[in-house]
Amino acid sequence: MKKRILIVNDEEALLVQLKDVLKGMGMDIYTAQNGIEALHKLAERNFNIVLADLKMPKMDGLQLLENIKKSYPNTYVVIMSGFGQIPQAVKAMKLGAYDFIQKPFDIDLLRLSLKKLLQTQDIIEENISLRKEVEEKYDFHHIVGKNYKMRKIYELITLAAEKDTTTLIWGETGTGKELIAKAIHYHSPRKKKSLIIVNCPAIPESLLESELFGHEKGSFTGAHTQRIGRFELAHQGTILLDEIGDFPLSMQGKLLRFLQDKEIRRVGGRDTLNLDVRILLATNRNLEELVSQGKFREDLYYRVNVLSISIPPLRERVDDIPLLAEHFLKKYAGLHNREENNISADAMNSLIQYPWPGNVRELENVIEKAVLLNKGETIDRFDLSILQKIPLYFGEADMYMPVETDLPYKEIKERLLNNWEREYLKGVLSKNSGNITQAAKQAGLNYKTFYEKLLKHSIDRKQFKK
Ligand SMILES: Nc1ncnc2c1ncn2[C@@H]1O[C@H](COP(=O)(O)OP(=O)(O)OP(=O)(O)O)[C@@H](O)[C@H]1O
Ligand SMILES: [Mg+2]
């Protein structure tokens, strides 16, 4: 959007001149004859800059400045002062003017000051919108992540929250399925009602029906009292059926019926109850495969797969690892009353290298342990409990060092040298755009030796051609 400037001056000739001077700066220019008129204009629309004279009838520049500071804190004021008005100009600066320009003014200086001001405003605005974006997108209801796949997921969460449809959340263990289910519920119109989470495999098959739908007193041995089931508890709210892949076949039919009729019958009860429950399902199993194995009803699968959210494993969004690590560091430093440390570059590189089979939950655990182990210094790679499982990373050289201390010294050294040699050759080749003669020269090796080394490591020079 074009920036707006308001020039306030009681001398008509000066207004015309200033308008002319500022014309080429890409701003919409407005004018006012005095402070009062300026305030009227400010009330009508937003201005980025007010360029005001100090001495004016009715309301002078200082009074105008004070008014603007109070009512329009995002509008910047530049004061024009005449000869011998330095004390007032200083006062204006103290009151929060952005700058003051002395009359008769140097046109270039005036332009420069305004240009700088516009740039400052841009930076501030950018920062504000960036912060907003960070809040909205990178921390979407406690879900941390800015990877493009995660951003897609935030869109899907918003969609799932708006629509009331049954939603299937799929992802490996520890990828954040429950977190996403919560985000959907708490963004949906049902947020003021309950979110009931049922961990299906934790309930014995024989009790599952009564647990979900409730039972009447005396409906089976041990049913001493009437019991309200989880679906009833979720009335007008949401139910999350977690690990739905493990849902027994016998119950799958009952669930399907609920999805069709929206009614339940308590075990041993005669009447049906109409319920308004939104269903979310989560699983780490491949439901299609389960369907083909006859373990999951096909009709149920189609019914629940209307809207599905598939969460990528952490190894497919490595760019989020630092963000998540910092997030957990903050969380656990606070929780365990530890100082908020940094994570060393080496440790971070190790975190990035690790394939994270347990996904975000595993990362969370590793960071928590590191916080507990650490004695108030930067978190080092040796604080990481996964250390034994990952190759160490050498900062800039892009080189991995095997870390198993139970291997013989010679073997480790051999591997290390090999890795180093390979990375070195690649680096030099890349610098010389794949030209072997030049690369060998830079390395201080003769052509033949260099070439043989490339063969040894199966490095293809063409890969580095620019
Ligand atoms: N993107 C994320 N940002 C912040 N924390 C996350 C994120 N993803 C997961 N977590 C955290 O990781 C842990 C595991 O997440 P959650 O329980 O939602 O995973 P899950 O997929 O349901 O796991 P499981 O398959 O084992 O049930 C939780 O403590 C959760 O808060
Ligand atoms: Mg879970």
Domains and CATH numbers, the chain: 3-130 (3.40.50.2300), 143-312 (3.40.50.300), 316-390 (1.10.8.60), 401-464 (1.10.10)
Q: Hey, which of 48-62, 235-249, 317-331 has the most confident mean pLDDT?
A: 235-249
How does the average pLDDT of the chain come out, rounded?
Answer: 85
Q: pLDDT tens across 376-396, in order?
A: 778 877 777 776 565 544 433
Token output for 36: 């009062």
Helix axes 409-431 and 436-443, enclosed angle (nearest 10)? 130
The arithmetic mean of pLDDT across residues 57-74, rounded, is: 87
How far is the C-alpha of 353 from the C-alpha of 334, rounded, in Å? Answer: 27
Task: Decide if pLDDT at 130 tops 60.
Answer: no
More confident residue, 134 or 200: 200
What is the Cα Rg of the chain in Å?
Answer: 34
Contact 28, 53 (CB under 8 A): no
Measured from the Cβ of residue 428, the count of other Cβ atoms closer than 10 Å reads 19
Minimum CA distance residue for ligand 1 atom 29: 361
Query: How confident is residue 109, by pLDDT bands cut at 50, 70 and 90?
Result: confident
The pLDDT value recorded for residue 396 is: 37
Task: Please state the atom number of ligand 1 nearest to the C-alpha of residue 179.
Answer: 18
The pLDDT value recorded for residue 391 is: 52
How far is the C-alpha of 340 from the C-alpha of 308, rounded, in Å? Answer: 38
Using DSSP's 3-state secondary structure scheme, residue 111 falls into helix
The pLDDT value recorded for residue 419 is: 73
The pLDDT value recorded for residue 133 is: 52
Task: Decide if pLDDT at 194 tops 50.
Answer: yes
Q: Which of 178, 311, 315, 332 to mutate to test the pocket of ligand 1 (most atoms within 8 A of CB)?
A: 178
Task: Decide if pLDDT at 453 tops 80.
Answer: yes
Query: How confident is residue 405, by pLDDT bands cut at 50, 70 and 90?
Result: low
The pLDDT value recorded for residue 149 is: 87
Distance 451 CA to ligand 2 centre (A): 53
- Of the ligands numbered here, which is closest to the C-alpha atom of 198? 2
Task: Please state the atom number of ligand 1 nearest to the C-alpha of residue 144.
Answer: 3
The pLDDT value recorded for residue 460 is: 86
Nearest in space to 262 (alpha carbons), one of 250, 279, 274: 274
The arithmetic mean of pLDDT across residues 433-452, rounded, is: 94
Cα within 13 Å of Cα(257), Cβ side: 13
The arithmetic mean of pLDDT across residues 399-426, rounded, is: 71
The arithmetic mean of pLDDT across residues 71-91, rounded, is: 82
Query: How confident is residue 193, by pLDDT bands cut at 50, 70 and 90?
Result: confident
Task: Decide if pLDDT at 253 tops 60.
Answer: yes
Query: How confident is residue 228, by pLDDT bands cut at 50, 70 and 90?
Result: confident
Cβ neighbours of residue 459 closer than 8 Å, sequence gap 6 or more: 422, 425, 426, 429
- Of the ligands numbered here, which is closest to the C-alpha atom of 175? 1
Given its phi and psi angles, is residue 218 left (phi above 0), alpha (psi -120 to 50 degrees) or beta?
Answer: left
Contact 162, 278 (CB under 8 A): no
Q: pLDDT tens across 44-62, in order?
A: 898 999 999 988 888 888 8
Distance 179 CA to ligand 1 centre (A): 6
Task: Decide if pLDDT at 136 tops 70.
Answer: no
Q: Hey, which of 10-19, 130-139, 435-444 has the most confident mean pLDDT?
A: 435-444
Task: Using the CB atoms, write b or e for 177-210: b if 16+ within 10 Å.
Answer: bbbbbbbbbbbbebeebbbbbbebeebeeeebbb
Amino acid at 27: M
| Ligand 1 pocket, Cβ-based, cut-off 6 angstroms | 143-145, 171, 173-179, 284, 324, 360-361, 364
More confident residue, 177 or 225: 177
The pLDDT value recorded for residue 135 is: 47
More confident residue, 275 or 342: 275
Token output for 363: 């990362």
Task: Decide if pLDDT at 286 tops 50.
Answer: yes
293, exposed or middle or buried, with CB in 10 Å at 0-12, 13-18, 19+? exposed
The pLDDT value recorded for residue 377 is: 75
Distance of CA 151 to the CA centre of its chain: 8
Measured from the Cβ of residue 131, the count of other Cβ atoms closer than 10 Å reads 10
Distance 203 CA to ligand 2 centre (A): 15
Minimum CA distance residue for ligand 1 atom 10: 176
Q: Which of 138, 143, 156, 175 to mutate to test the pocket of ligand 1 (most atoms within 8 A of CB)?
A: 175
More confident residue, 235 or 339: 235
The pLDDT value recorded for residue 390 is: 57
The pLDDT value recorded for residue 395 is: 39
